[in-house]
A and B are shown apart, each in its own frame.
Chain A
Amino acid sequence: EDKVVQSPLSLVVHEGDTVTLNCSYEVTNFRSLLWYKQEKKAPTFLFMLTSSGIEKKSGRLSSILDKKELFSILNITATQTGDSAVYLCAVDDPYNNNDMRFGAGTRLTVKP
């Protein structure tokens, strides 16, 4: 069965710290891996990764995929309190009910 595992489940840091969130997966047919940020309401899209080794970057956030070792990391540098959220990783397996299989998420808390 397809599986997506995120670690750590929760993380508390102080403003200015750098954090690395992990997502490992086991899927039968991989098409893409996506990262979402969920604050109080709807998850919002951050990155979509399809190729190994190519970093996607947006401001202080960046992400990279390793298709050989089956994982991705999401880095946030110089964290701010506004980065506090649950970060969700999802893997797209086109032959599994067209489902994006989500991990349980990492809850990041950034303290002032």
Chain B
Amino acid sequence: EAQVTQNPRYLITVTGKKLTVTCSQNMNHEYMSWYRQDPGLGLRQIYYSMNVEVTDKGDVPEGYKVSRKEKRNFPLILESPSPNQTSLYFCASSLSGYSPLHFGNGTRLTVT
């Protein structure tokens, strides 16, 4: 089944403790992206990747890192999480940067 898989689904952590949210897609998509979703603000792009080893900042990249060492994987790294990073995070992929996105099921992160 074609899908985008994110893990974990839920995560509660404390300020400053490094964490990684994994994202993997099995559709051989070139483009991958991370979004955060907050009430009233919609989906905002954190980082995106047009292809392997090519990543770039979205609208809200501060406090996040990504890597794209393989086509299928695009992990999101929070080196020192803070409470303002409490949010619902979605990974998405598409054939190209302008094709419809396929979303993962989301990761709800709480930073205390």
Contacts and interface: CB of A to CB of B under 8 A. Distances in A.
Q: Do they bind each other?
A: yes
Interface of A: 4, 31-32, 34, 36, 41-45, 48, 88, 90, 92, 94, 97-100, 102-105
B43 A88 contact: yes
Contacts of A4: 42
A98 B35 CA distance: 13
A45 B42 contact: no
Interface in B33-49: 35, 40-45, 48
Interface residues of B, number: 25
B42 A97 contact: no
Contacts, number: 56
A42 B42 contact: no
Given A88-B42, A102-B43, A94 B104 contact: no
Contact of B45 (A31, A36, A42, A99): A99
Interface of B: 4, 31, 35, 40-45, 48, 50, 56-59, 90, 97-98, 100-106
Interface of A is mostly: strand
Given A45-B101, A100-B101, 18 more contacts: A34-B101, A42-B90, A42-B103, A42-B105, A42-B106, A45-B100, A90-B43, A92-B98, A97-B56, A98-B97, A99-B45, A99-B58, A99-B59, A102-B35, A102-B42, A104-B40, A104-B42, A105-B42
